[in-house]
């Protein structure tokens, strides 16, 4: 069997005030990053239910990124701390169930950090490329039933 080139899909939930603004800045500055990133704008990183992250993986994403404001800079004061706790839990749960917990990434990227945004997206995509397709997909290929 010849190896097909692996083109991952990474779903990014980016908060409206910081990381989305950084993505805007990366865009206006024309900093290229892989097309595998699928950005979704949310109001705050705390809007993102842990279920959304798992759901994205379940639907076939190879990884997810949650982007928020730096600690202390949250537009909603404490939203990013909540997100941080949640991501820690999601990672623990994934790990204890035998899944790869590095497929959920939490990053603080402020509105002025366009270059940082592009760098993180590049590095994470490279990492996931090396890591290969998500285990969730492997489960699918076994013909397991999808849980709703």
Residues of this chain that interact with another protein (CB under 8 A) are: 9, 11, 18, 21, 23-44, 46-49, 51-52, 55-56, 59-61, 69, 71-73, 75-79, 82, 86, 109-116, 118-119
**Complex with another protein: residue 1 or 85, whichever CB lies closer:** 85
| Pick 38 or 127: Cβ nearer another protein | 38
**Shortest CB 107 distance to another protein, Å:** 10
CB–CB of 15/109 below 8 Å?
Answer: no
User: Using only C-alpha atoms, what is the Rg of the chain?
Assistant: 15
What is the nearest approach in angstroms of another protein to the Cβ of residue 25? 6
Q: How far is residue 12 from each of residues 48, 87, 121, 147, measured CA to CA in Å?
A: 11, 14, 9, 22
Give the integer Cα–Cα distance in Å for 47 and 63: 19
């Amino acid at each position: 069997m010849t190896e097909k080139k692996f083109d991952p899909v990474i779903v990014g939930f980016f908060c409206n005030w910081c990381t989305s603004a950084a993505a805007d800045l990366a865009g206006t500055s024309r900093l290229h990053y892989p097309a595998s990133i699928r950005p979704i704008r949310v109001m705050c990183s705390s809007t993102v239910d842990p279920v959304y992250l798992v759901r994205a993986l379940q639907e076939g994403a190879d990884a997810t990124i949650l982007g928020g404001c730096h600690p202390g800079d949250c537009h909603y004061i404490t939203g990013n701390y909540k997100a941080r706790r949640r991501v820690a839990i999601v990672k623990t749960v994934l790990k204890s169930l035998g899944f790869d917990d590095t497929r959920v990434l939490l990053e603080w990227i402020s509105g002025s950090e366009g270059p940082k945004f592009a760098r993180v997206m590049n590095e994470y995509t490279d990492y996931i490329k090396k890591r290969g397709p998500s285990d969730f997909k492997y489960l699918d290929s076994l013909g397991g039933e999808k849980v709703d």
